[in-house]
């Protein structure tokens, strides 16, 4: 079992420390766990809300409006479910020592990018190349 890593409340990863040291890994692990917890709580709230709002609405326009709202909410939850899977994958990469490195080039992903998008698997440059290729193939 790994020892608990001390992390001050105001800690932010810095470029002048070794890349993906224990403190940085713990910072991103906590960030990912907090994000996942938040998403799961929102999902529970949605399920409870949907269960409570199953009622018979006589007005057809009101019923259509409520059905549209439900569909949007369910699509949002589906996107969040996929996001939770990506968070779990990032947590696995932390455990395996692969977190923070581009899956394409093997180069470190910038700390700013990881802080903004902790589930990132590619460096900004690799992501941009991937998106350009995707766009070219999509236009065919």
Phi-psi domain of 72 (left: phi exceeds 0; alpha: psi -120 through 50; beta: other): alpha
Q: 60-96 vs 22-52: helix axis angle to the nearest 10?
A: 160
Examine the pLDDT at 103 and tell me if it is beyond 60. yes
State if pTM tops 0.85. no
What are the structure tokens assigned to 121, written together? Answer: 């698997």
> Would you list the domain boundaries of the chain?
19-99, 102-139
Among the listed ranges 1-10, 71-80, 93-102, 111-120, which one has the minimum average pLDDT value?
Answer: 1-10
Spatial distance between the Cα atoms of 107 and 100, rounded to a whole number of angstroms: 9
Would you identify the CATH topology of the domain 19-99? 1.20.120
Residues 2-31 have pLDDT tens digits of 567 888 888 999 999 999 999 999 999 999
Provide the pLDDT confidence category of residue 55 given band limits of 50, 70 and 90. low
Chain position carrying tokens 């403190």: 23
């Amino acid at each position: 079992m790994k020892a608990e890593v001390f992390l001050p409340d105001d800690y932010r990863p810095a470029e002048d420390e070794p890349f993906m040291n224990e403190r940085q890994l713990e910072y991103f692990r906590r960030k990912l766990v907090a994000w996942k917890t938040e998403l799961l709580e929102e999902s529970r709230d949605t399920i409870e809300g949907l269960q409570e709002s199953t009622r018979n609405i006589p007005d057809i326009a009101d019923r259509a409006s409520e059905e549209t709202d439900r569909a949007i909410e369910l699509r949002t939850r589906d996107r969040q479910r996929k996001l939770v899977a990506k968070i779990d994958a990032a947590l696995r990469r932390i455990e395996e020592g692969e977190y923070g490195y581009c899956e394409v080039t093997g180069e470190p992903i910038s700390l700013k990018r990881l802080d903004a998008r902790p589930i990132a698997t590619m460096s900004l440059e690799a992501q941009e190349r991937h998106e350009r290729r995707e766009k070219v193939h999509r236009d065919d």
